[in-house]
Each structure stands twice: as structure tokens, then as C-alpha cells.
Amino acid sequence: MGTKNSRFSLVSLPLGILFLLLGFSLVGCDYLKSLTESKYRKRIGGELPSEKDIVNWKEKLALEEAEIEEMDKRIRKMVQKSNQAAALSWKIARAYMRAGSSDLGARYYEEAMGEFLPNAKQGGFEIHSYESALPYFEKAIQTGKLDKQLLYETAVAYANASKDMGWEPVRRNRAIGLFKQLSKLDKEDSRFPFQLALVYFDSSLKDEAWNGKLSNGYDEVETAFSLLDQILRKEPYNVPTRFAKANFLYQIGKSNLAYDEYTRIKSILEEMKEKGNIREPLEENSSYLNVIKNLNQLGAQNKSN
């Protein structure tokens, strides 16, 4: 029922039981283990790397920390010389995320935000103080200089980086702060409270090991449920949110309530099929197949208890 190792996604429509975020998957790529430092140095020893080089390296190469530092120095020189520094930083951040390097990705997302908001620091704005940053975000979005998607991806990067470190508090708080500000910027976009609920719930699981780091757990499970319920009051047919709620209920031991929620999802999907909102046969729909599988498993489990 769910997974402990998947990452936060950049999409709001996960089609299945996995409550920990799908879509623009932030899982690691297949690394090329044969890369050596000497080959790396030879490759970058001459001209500055092209944008294509950067993306390829970030996505495909397993680099040693010293190599990453050297590459970053060269990338920063390139970014500083570029007339599209913010866009380039954003691309680099995405590439790091695709390669599974959430913390490095978060750094470049921060740089991209700072470059999109060049006048913000003159007004006393600090990139990590998201409450004070809200007016700058609003103005930048209105003028088309800043995309909400950048803020969203930055929050996702910090959430994943925090999770990789056993829910390290500073990065967790940055993710939460950004998701909260995004919720204020656009009250109609349910992605933001949805992802915030995932952070609250997932980080509240006690004694869970993430990449070898043990989390002490935060006491915010009820806050997570409250956020999901707020979404469902406005969007009762929001299937991903119902999947998340069912998974939450299962993880805290309320399997009977989880069964009821999966039953609701089954009915909703059948209704959507009748209305023509689902084109393929239900037997081929991944969400419906997950619901049936989970109902069967929970039914068998409840009988044995």
C-alpha cells in the first residue's frame, strides 16, 4: 500500500495508489558508471560547456563531489555571461532533479528565482524568507517575469532534499513556506495544498528510514488530513486526493476507513466512465485497476483480523 521511496512529483494527477508523487518523476536516471575523473577533466578542459552538455551531464553522469564542484564553477561562469541566466539556471535545476540530486537542484532553483527577481534584494527581500517574498512573487507573476511553476518546482526540490536527509528541518520548512505562499497566490490550484499535505503526512511518520537517514517524525498528520479534506470539499471528484487520503488512512492503521475511501474512488471512476470522462475500458484504466487491487487486499486483510 504505497511506497516509502518515491519522490515528490511536479504533477497533480497521480493515477494510482502511490501517494508519494508521480508524473514528472524525480527518480534517478541510469548512470554511466564508467566515467572517470581524467575523462571528465579532458572533456571540460577547453571551452565552456554548452547548455546541451550541461543537461546531458546532469541527467546521465554519476559525478564525484569534487567533479560536481568544478563543473559548478564553470557553469556559474557560463550563467553569468548569459543573457538568459534565469532560464539556464532553471534548466540546470531540472536536470539535477531528473538525476536524483534534489539538494543541488534546489540550489539552482533558488538562483533562478533570484535572477527572475533582480530588484527584489534591493527592497530587503531574502530568497529564504518567503513571507516577505510574496509581494515580489505576485508582481513578477503578474508581469509575466516569474512562472508559478518555477516556485512549485523549487518547493518540490526542497521537499525531496529534506526527505533524502531524514526530513531535515531547514529544507522542509522552505518547502512548506513555498507551498503555503503558492496557495495564497492561487487559491484555485489544488496542487499546492495537495503537495503540502504530502509533506506534512510523510514527514510525520516516525522512525522511517529515508536513504539511511532516520526521521524522528513531526506531529502534523491531522494537518495533512485537513488539507486533503479542504480540497475534496471543493473538488469531490479529485481522484488523486482521494487516493492520497485512502493511503494515509491505511498507513495509520485505519484499514476499514481506507477500504471505504477506495470504495468511493471505485464508484467515482465508474461514474466518470458512464459520463464519458474515461475513454478506455475500466479494465484497462490504471486507477481503476489499483482500486480493485487495493480493495481485494484490504478485504482479505480485514477478514483475517
> Is the per-residue pLDDT at 269 higher than 70?
yes
> Is the per-residue pLDDT at 231 higher than 80?
yes
| Res. 46 pLDDT band, cuts 50 70 90 | very low
| Res. 60 pLDDT band, cuts 50 70 90 | very low
Highest mean pLDDT among 72-81, 136-145, 209-218, 275-284: 275-284
What pLDDT is stored for residue 29 in this prediction?
26
CB atoms closer than 10 angstroms to residue 105: 27
Residue 252 has which C-alpha cell? 495509520
Residue 177 has which C-alpha cell? 513556506
Least confident of 93-97, 232-236, 253-257: 93-97
Which carries the bigger pLDDT value, residue 70 or residue 28? 70
pLDDT in tens, 89-125: 667 777 767 667 777 777 777 777 766 665 554 444 4
Which carries the bigger pLDDT value, residue 135 or residue 224? 224
What pLDDT is stored for residue 160 in this prediction?
86
Residue 176 has which C-alpha cell? 512548506
CA distances from 132 to 5, 27, 189, 229, 276 (A): 34, 32, 22, 29, 46
- The span from the CA of 184 to the CA of 138, in Å, is 10
| Residue entry with cell 526527505 | 163
| Res. 84 pLDDT band, cuts 50 70 90 | low
Instruction: Return the closest-CA partner of residue 192 out of 234, 161, 250.
Output: 234
Q: What's the pTM value of the predicted model, to 2 decimals?
A: 0.67
- The span from the CA of 192 to the CA of 195, in Å, is 5
CA distances from 82 to 6, 72, 115, 155, 204 (A): 35, 15, 11, 25, 42
Given a contact cutoff of 8 angstroms between Cβ atoms, the answer to whether 23 and 11 are in contact is yes
What pLDDT is stored for residue 276 in this prediction?
94
- The span from the CA of 92 to the CA of 98, in Å, is 10
What pLDDT is stored for residue 174 in this prediction?
87
Instruction: Return the closest-CA partner of residue 184 out of 137, 129, 225, 232.
Output: 137
Beta bridge partners of 61: 32
What pLDDT is stored for residue 93 in this prediction?
72
> Is the per-residue pLDDT at 1 higher than 60?
no
